Amino acid sequence: MAPEAAVCEDDEPNSNQSGMPKIIVLMGAPGAGKGTQARLLQERLHLPQISTGDIFRALKNAQTPLAQELREIMERGQLVPDELTIRLVKERTAQVDCRNGYILDGFPRTPEQARSLDGLAAEQDNTIVAINIDVPLDLLEKRMTGRRNCPVCGEIYNIYFKPPKNDNVCDFHPEAQLVHRADDNAETVQARLATYEAKTRSLIEYYKSAGLLHSVAGTREPGDIYGDIERIVQQG
């Protein structure tokens, strides 16, 4: 979860050197490292990170019927309906900080969402670069159940792979206890992986057929993966 990054106020020009504004679509199974890479891209290219998961996590905390519905959907590891998801992405990407491009983390996740993004890209005169972070299924469960987030800055930790310097507190906000996402328990993780296989994996083929797909091996150090992603973005 990245509360400060979900709606970025930073409107500095980005360092995208290759002309047209870009929509960087980070794809991959739950736990593949989309959020980790999106945060690096946001920091270094000055493009806003738009995480639909973060948007829904913020919305589900309200005391409204919609919030209750979102809590149930997310606890079951299912997808939020396309209509709502697409509307929220349209609203968010219409904001001024997206004019030079943006990073989508967790969208699209269905063929309907992908088609709507094609339309949005055409309307906004943006090009799409789709990057799939490839991680074998057997690693994903540990990545999710071991994940912890800082509730202040959204920094992403992992008790197995990237522990904080001091037990369960953020390196940058020592007053903040790290949080464990409600959907990162073993049962919901299995449901999320099944939903990914059923609804989302086919988008790899969708973007491959469109000639827009790039893949990076997601089992290396985050910095090495980032290096490949930045090269793809600058060249693509």
Contact residues for ligand AP5 (CB under 6 A)? 28, 30-36, 52-53, 56, 73-74, 77-80, 85, 106-107, 109, 113, 143-144, 146-147, 156-158, 161-162, 183, 192, 218, 222, 225
Minimum CB distance to ligand AP5 smaller for 74 or for 233: 74
Measured from each CB, the residue nearest to ligand AP5 is 53
Cα–Cα distances in angstroms (integers) from residue 20 to residues 16, 215, 223, 236, in the given order: 8, 21, 26, 10
Considering the complex, state which of residue 11 and residue 71 has its C-beta at the smaller distance from ligand AP5. 71
**Would you tell me how many other CB atoms lie within 10 Å of the CB of residue 38?**
27
Query: Is 148 annotated as catalytic?
Result: no
Residue 20 or 44 having the CB closest to ligand AP5: 44
Taking the least distance from each CB to ligand AP5, the nearer of 11 and 75 is 75
Is 219 within 8 Å of 211 (Cβ atoms)? no
Looking up tokens 């020009």 gives 13
Reply yes or no on whether 147 is catalytic. yes
Q: Write b or e for each residue in 85-118: b if 16 or more Cβ atoms lie within 10 A of its Cβ, otherwise e.
A: bbebbeebbeeebbebbbbbbbbbbbeebbebbe
Q: How far is the CB of 51 from ligand AP5 (least distance, A)?
A: 6
Nearest distance, CB of residue 13 and ligand AP5, angstroms = 26
Token look-up 């920091």 returns 43
Q: Give SS3 for 23.
A: strand
C-beta of residue 35 within 8 angstroms of C-beta of residue 2: yes
Query: Is there a catalytic annotation at residue 181?
Result: yes
162 carries an active-site annotation: no
- Min dist CB 34 to ligand AP5, Å, is 4
Q: Which residue numbers are catalytic?
A: 34, 109, 147, 181, 192
